[in-house]
Amino acid sequence: MFYGYIRVSSDKQTVENQRFEIERFCKENNISIDGWIEETISGTKAYKMRRLGILLKKVRQSDTIVCTELSRFGRSLFMIMEILSLCMKKGCRVWTIKEGYRLGDDLQSKVLAFAFALSAEIERNLISQRTKEALARLKAEGKRVGRPKGSHSAKQYYKLHTKEALIRRMIKEEYSLCEIADTLHVSRNTLRRYCRLFMNAS
């Protein structure tokens, strides 16, 4: 099956240009698109949280994803490599119009898939290494790392700190914690923790 994948970053952009390019490409190559996947979402959003993630779970060997360019998959090289590596493992072909890529089940694609997977693994290791080095440097400088402890100085980290007057009034009017939490759109545990830390309430 052939799938046309289209992504734009905002409502101000239109999917029509990408659809036109894909339809023209398919007509020139005597291809029929069996399913369209269109979404308006930032390319920085994890692909598993997008409709693209659903498509990648769905595709099977010999399926083909057609898109205008690789940047439609994501805004980072790491993400694009991960997606292409997954497609290669599943035997799903990826065709792009602007770059002219035809990634499939041939030897060249397998080499590329290996390069994508290796590059992604190296990038993950580099990120992990940079994080560990940064934490070690902060510790060496005597700075606290991790989340701040529940002290008065950490009050700014709780989104309820601007709602204290409302919370006190509702408690005084004998609203239940469940009712207050629903009003403030937080969980009861979050509300209870805030009251205990900052309002001397149980």
Amino acid 57: pLDDT: 94
SS3 sequence of the chain: CEEEEEEECCCCCCCHHHHHHHHHHHHHCCCCCCEEEEEECCCCCCHHHCHHHHHHHHCCCCCEEEECCHHHCCCCHHHHHHHHHHHHHHCCEEEECCCCCEECCCHHHHHHHHHHHHHHHHHHHHHHHHHHHHHHHHHHCCCCCCCCCCCHHHHHHCHHHHCHHHHHHHHHCCCCHHHHHHHHCCCHHHHHHHHHHHCCCC
Instruction: Tell me how far apart the alpha carbons of residues 152 and 93 are, in angstroms, rounded to a whole number.
Output: 56
Per-residue pLDDT of the chain (202 residues; tens, 9 = 90+): 999 999 998 766 778 999 999 999 999 999 999 999 999 998 888 899 999 999 999 999 999 999 999 889 988 877 888 898 889 889 899 999 998 888 886 777 777 767 766 776 676 677 777 777 777 777 788 776 665 554 444 544 467 777 888 888 888 877 888 888 877 878 888 888 888 877 765 5
4 with 66: CB under 8 angstroms?
Answer: yes
Instruction: Tell me how far apart the alpha carbons of residues 131 and 77 are, in angstroms, rounded to a whole number.
Output: 19
97 with 66: CB under 8 angstroms?
Answer: yes
